[in-house]
Structure 1
Amino acid sequence: MNLQGVGIGRGLALGPVLRMPDPLPEPSDASSGVTADEEKVRAAGALAATAADIRIRGQRAGGAAKDVLEAQAFMAEDPTLRDDVDTRIVAGKTAERAVFEAFAAFRDLLTSMGGYMGERATDLNDVSQRVVANLQGVSAPGVPNPDYPFVLVARDLAPADTALLDLDKVLALVTSDGGPTSHTAILAREKAIVAVVGAPDALQLADGVTVVVDATTGLVTASPTDDEISAARSTMAARAAAAVTPVGPGALADGTLVPLLANLGSVAGAADALAKGAEGVGLFRTEFLFLDSDRAPSVAEQQEKYTQLLTSFAGKKVVVRALDAGADKPLSFLNDEPEENPALGLRGLRALRANESILRDQLSALAAADAATEAELWVMAPMVSTVEETRYFTTLARELGLTTAGVMVEVPAAALLADRILADTDFASIGTNDLTQYTLAADRLLGSVASFQDPWHPAVLRLVGEVGRAGALLGKPVGICGEAAADPALAVVLVGLGATSLSMSPAALADVRAELSRFTLDQAKEFAEIALSANSAVEARVAVAAAASSLTNTTLTESE
């Protein structure tokens, strides 16, 4: 049996299936025989203990996982949810039942809101299970821990589970839900875990069945033949050998340079990125400085962190994104008004303009850090959709002492007006996650529409091409900083569409570097045209793979 999903990276794994255990059963509504006040104390203790446990997991995991788990911890501490639990206990519910019902109600509310908040609903299920398990004195459902390596199969994985996977045992992940930008996919890519997500029939795989998981094709082969097993092992050995080769600058086969940069969420990831060959930073997310606080950090506090970052990348380019809050990252001091559709609301530069002092402080801190270090600092605005917004941000950045200012292209309007936008700023960086979301009207974190959330879609690629052409005409750099850059085959297509640099999770750098070195710029442009002429993401991916394979075979024949 072959299962088709979306592969994360280019890894390959072979091993027996082990499925995630079923969740805890729904708590009963039977009376516990204790007072309501005692039940409140039990519930409060379990919520606090769960939040603390999740934070500890986040500290141990670091990176993007820490940010995701911190958000989960806040869920367990939400005062509105705590009040709901207490109200249900006073009405006669046990602590377990009150927690179950309160989280379920909160989950349904977020689901009805859609957008980024809908993805938070999935995380609520995991937090609820952990709190109930604490109350019952049992282990929370999670990743099994056998004494042998295995391929983990699940409907989806909670961030708390993905963050602390034992990579000596978990050979690969296969999920039935999720998409290429789900939490599972993002954390799997960061940890270089072989993964195939969004494979609808994954739950039909039985424990113990041997599978080959090929992230390059998104294919999971159950009960492979001896020949398929032999081929998989040969490929795995070849990739392992390639992984230890010296790193160098990103370049095509004809010598065209394509700088390969790192996406980072905190200063802590700098050393790992450099060790993996990052030529700089293509996206530094500054949200980590703001999310844990009820106030905006001071200029001095921000300057200290930015100085650490720029010092780590002395002599290299560092692209910093201004605070991208709103949607799934609401901040009380920026925008705490509820919105029916926050993904289309006051987020990114819109929120910053409504609170210009916060933006001014951040840009001032960046300018001061730039003056004190030797890195090449570029600063960009998130969620730009108009020429007027472009002029506003670029003018303000230069006024505050920053020499290179640009914008992120995440909205189709910005892509369609790229020639005008780039005329008024220094560079553009395409965020393919949001660009795909808004182009196909498919929430990038919602499993039910994961099949639409694919940057290989010709409509998305056409918009990328518009920005690439505008950059070439105006002599302005166009980078890619969305997860699409971490897909080696798609990375070649993006260069063919005009991308001048690619930024990704550090774990993806080696595979992308190797893939770029196989093709010339003319061939990359040919692959781009093939992808654009397709009618769907699946067709584009298959057609480019076939063209690349044919070209490789032709080259091998000619060399013999």
Structure 2
Amino acid sequence: MEYTGTGIGQGVAIGQTIRMPDPLPEPRDERSSRGTDEESARAAASMAAVARELEKRGASAGGTAKDVLEAQAMMAEDPSLVELVTAGISDGKTAERAVFEAFASFRDQLAAMGGYLGERAADLDDVSQRVIADLAGVPAPGVPQPAEPFVLIARDLAPADTALLDLDKVLALVTSDGGPTSHTAILAREKSIVAVVGTANALDIADGTTVVVDAAAGSVLTDPSAELAAHVTQRIAERSAAASGPTGPGVLADGTAVPLLANLGSSDGADAAVALGAEGVGLFRTEFLFLDAGDTAPSVEQQREHYVRLLTAFAGKKVVVRVLDAGADKPLPFLSNAEEENPALGLRGLRALRAREEILRDQLTALAEADAQTDADLWVMAPMVSGVEETRYFVELARELGIKTAGIMVEIPSVALLAEKALAACDFASIGTNDLTQYTLAADRLLGSVASFQDPWHPAVLRLIGEVGRAGAQLGKPVGICGEAAADPLLAVVLVGLGATSLSMSPSALLDVRLSLAGFDLETAQNLAQIALAADDAASAKSAVRDAADTAQKVRQP
């Protein structure tokens, strides 16, 4: 039987399945037999223990996982949550029940907010389970540890579990929930784990079933034939050989250069990105620098030190830094504490920075000073730009403060439709396909009920990308892609055909994209783009392009 979902990367794996254990049962709602002080002490000790364990896991995992786990550790000791737990205990509840109710209440609030905080809601469930398990003196639900390698089936995975998966044992991940921008998908891509997420009915697959997990096809096939198993084994060997070979620049079959860049959230990942063949940085997210700052924004000096480390690691290469992308969906006490019913459409990105211009000025000043001290080619861009006036505002301010190359992110359809005018007012554009898809299809990219709409293969999204690519070509302005769409090897070819001049992605996706681009010339990429644009929906666009690509590659074979 075949199950379909969203594949992460181009890998394939074969093995027997094991399901993730069910979560701990809900603690009983009963009065505590202990005193309030004793219950409070138990809760505090367990929350602290879980925070330290998450920090330890983060330090061991490194990269994006480290950032995510450190954020979870902060959740475990969040003052607002501690206050809710304390209140529950004061009402006579056990520490277990008070923790359960406090985290559930906070989770529901975050889920209702959507956006960045909506994504963090699922992380709270994991932290809650870990604290309750510590209180009960039992192991927290986690990844099974059998003696033999296996394919893990789960509803979804918590960051703490995904970050430290034993890659010698876990052959592949299959989840019933989540999408291409979920933490499971992002961390799986970063760790080069074969994964298919959002797989309908995946939980129906029984333990011990032999399956082929094909990320390239987005499929999970049970009980494969001996012939298929042999073919999969050969594909695994070929990918392993390609991964161990030398890296090189991104280039099409006709020699057209397509620089392949890395998406990073910390300078700590720079060395690994270079080792995997990153030709620079196409998106450096600065949010964690600010999220870790506390009640006040980091100083110019603190920021400059951070940026110098990044630029030094990529000396002589292009580094594209996105200024702080925060606001109501990522509330920062020094930026905005206002609550909004729909933060994805609220005061975020450049809008929030413009309301507190001193924060933007400090960040641009720190970047300009770091640029003066290093040899990298620094480009700086603004997030959530909606039109030409905002483009001019950002570029003029960046120039005033010493930034040489200033551009915008294209995430809102309005600026894509005005691409020629917007690009005339800046030096470059970088398309954030995650948000562009969300806003084009009116589907919250963090809301599971509309996950099927969150597909950058949709012809409407591709048409907007094509508008930007066409404007860039006319004006001689670079147009990069820095959303997760760039990590899809076949879609990457289409994006180049639409006018993308560079692609930025998680470093672990570089190999697959590099190999894919090398199989097509520019004319074929442009033809594939037109096929995608002519489709009615995302599924038919992807299917039509895949068929045409297979035909084109067969024609090229000797």
**Residue 227 of structure 1: how far off its partner (Å):** 0.9
Partner letter of residue 440 of structure 1? L
CA–CA distance in structure 1, aligned partners of residues 243 and 385 of structure 2: 38
Is 1:185 the equivalent of 2:185? yes
1:421 counterpart residue number: 422
CA–CA distance in structure 2, aligned partners of residues 111 and 240 of structure 1: 40
**Residue 22 of structure 1: how far off its partner (Å):** 0.5
Cα offsets for 1:497-525 (capped at 9, x unmatched): 00000001111111111110110101001
CA–CA distance in structure 1, aligned partners of residues 137 and 541 of structure 2: 51
Is 1:240 the equivalent of 2:221? no
1:120 counterpart residue number: 120
Is 1:506 the equivalent of 2:525? no
Partner letter of residue 384 of structure 1? V
Partner letter of residue 263 of structure 2? N
**Residue 81 of structure 1: how far off its partner (Å):** 2.0
Paired residues in the alignment total 557
Is 1:493 the equivalent of 2:494? yes
CA contact (8 A) 1:18 1:208 kept: yes
1:7 counterpart residue number: 7
1:314 counterpart residue number: 315
2:60 counterpart residue number: 60
SS in 1 for 2:320: strand
**Residue 345 of structure 1: how far off its partner (Å):** 1.4
Is 1:452 the equivalent of 2:453? yes
1:465 counterpart residue number: 466
2:388 counterpart residue number: 387
Cα offsets for 1:358-400 (capped at 9, x unmatched): 1111111111111111111110011111211100110011111
SS in 2 for 1:396: helix
Cα offsets for 1:48-98 (capped at 9, x unmatched): 222222222222212111222222222222222222222222222111111
Once the two structures are superposed, the pairs formed by residues 223-302 of structure 1 within 5 Å of their partners are 223-294=223-294, 295-302=296-303
SS in 1 for 2:127: helix
CA–CA distance in structure 1, aligned partners of residues 450 and 119 of structure 2: 11
CA contact (8 A) 1:461 1:532 kept: yes
SS in 1 for 2:67: helix
2:519 counterpart residue number: 518
Partner letter of residue 410 of structure 1? E
Is 1:552 the equivalent of 2:553? yes
Cα offsets for 1:90-113 (capped at 9, x unmatched): 222111111111212222222233
Please, which moves more after superposition, 544-553 or 79-88? 79-88
**Residue 328 of structure 1: how far off its partner (Å):** 4.2
Q: TM-score, normalised by structure 2?
A: 0.98
**Residue 327 of structure 1: how far off its partner (Å):** 4.6
**Residue 451 of structure 1: how far off its partner (Å):** 1.1
Is 1:130 the equivalent of 2:127? no
**Residue 483 of structure 1: how far off its partner (Å):** 0.6
2:332 counterpart residue number: 331
CA–CA distance in structure 1, aligned partners of residues 111 and 553 of structure 2: 47
Please, which moves more after superposition, 507-516 or 75-84? 75-84
Partner letter of residue 377 of structure 1? L
Please, which moves more after superposition, 459-468 or 97-106? 97-106
1:104 counterpart residue number: 104
CA–CA distance in structure 1, aligned partners of residues 188 and 241 of structure 2: 21
CA contact (8 A) 1:182 1:446 kept: no
2:89 counterpart residue number: 89
Is 1:165 the equivalent of 2:131? no
Partner letter of residue 336 of structure 1? N
CA contact (8 A) 2:329 2:348 kept: no
1:396 counterpart residue number: 397
Q: TM-score, normalised by structure 1?
A: 0.97
**Residue 28 of structure 1: how far off its partner (Å):** 1.3
**Residue 423 of structure 1: how far off its partner (Å):** 0.7
1:350 counterpart residue number: 351
CA contact (8 A) 2:520 2:553 kept: no
CA–CA distance in structure 2, aligned partners of residues 116 and 535 of structure 1: 30
Once the two structures are superposed, the pairs formed by residues 370-381 of structure 1 within 5 Å of their partners are 370-381=371-382
* CA-based RMSD: 1.2
